[in-house]
Amino acid sequence: MMFEGYGPGGIGLLIECVSDNRNRAVADLRRILSRNNGSMAEAGAVAWNFTRKTVISVDKGDRTDEDVLMAVLDAGAEDVRPTDETYDVYAPIDCFEPVRSALEAAGFTLTAANLEYVPTQTLELAGTEAQAALKLLDMLDDYDDAQNVYSNLEITDEELAKMEE
């Protein structure tokens, strides 16, 4: 089941759940959201801002993001984004297998390969709104029926550093 909601600061949430009781899952999610400055949304109210994409993470090793991009460009990849330990390759869902194969053929070590909902527009939050949004995302991650939680939240590295102080 896929549920939609809003969080602090108006961030959009897609919550993918597996449950044997839809009514209980709805009530639980409504409670978690309302206690954390959020609310449930109607079907389609948030989903329009997300696109299902192939997301494949590869170990950085001694390679650059240019190396990764050159390996997957002909396979249909759209973007390569560095994280602390990996490069994340984004592609349309119909390019999952060609991109995965191209990465393996180029000698990259895959750390994850999934289909995910990626926001087309992000919403940057700061201060107490950012902290409240992170708290809500943690609570949703801890909810047993929630398998995946996607949001359009963006927090700058500077803001994260301020929160850790």
Q: Which of 44-53, 65-74, 111-120 has the lowest mean pLDDT?
A: 65-74
pLDDT band at 139 (very low <50, low <70, confident <90, very high): very high
Contact status, residue 157 vs residue 17, Cβ threshold 8 Å: no
Q: What are the pLDDT digits (tens) for 13-67?
A: 999 999 999 999 999 999 999 999 999 999 999 999 999 999 999 998 888 888 8
Same domain (yes/no): 40, 61 = no
pLDDT band at 118 (very low <50, low <70, confident <90, very high): very high
The predicted model scores a pTM of 0.86
Percent with pLDDT over 90 in the chain: 81
Contact status, residue 85 vs residue 18, Cβ threshold 8 Å: no
Percent with pLDDT over 70 in the chain: 100
Same domain (yes/no): 66, 106 = yes
Same domain (yes/no): 26, 85 = no
pLDDT at 165 over 80: no
Same domain (yes/no): 57, 137 = no
For the domain that residue 128 is a member of, what is the CATH number?
Answer: 3.30.70.980
Range of the domain at 86: 51-119
Number of structural domains found in the chain: 2
Looking at residue 163, its pLDDT comes to 79
pLDDT at 84 over 90: no
pLDDT at 10 over 80: yes
pLDDT band at 92 (very low <50, low <70, confident <90, very high): very high
Which residue matches tokens 């700061």?
126
Measured distance CA(129)–CA(135) in Å, rounded: 10
Q: What is the DSSP-derived secondary structure letter of residue 116? A: E
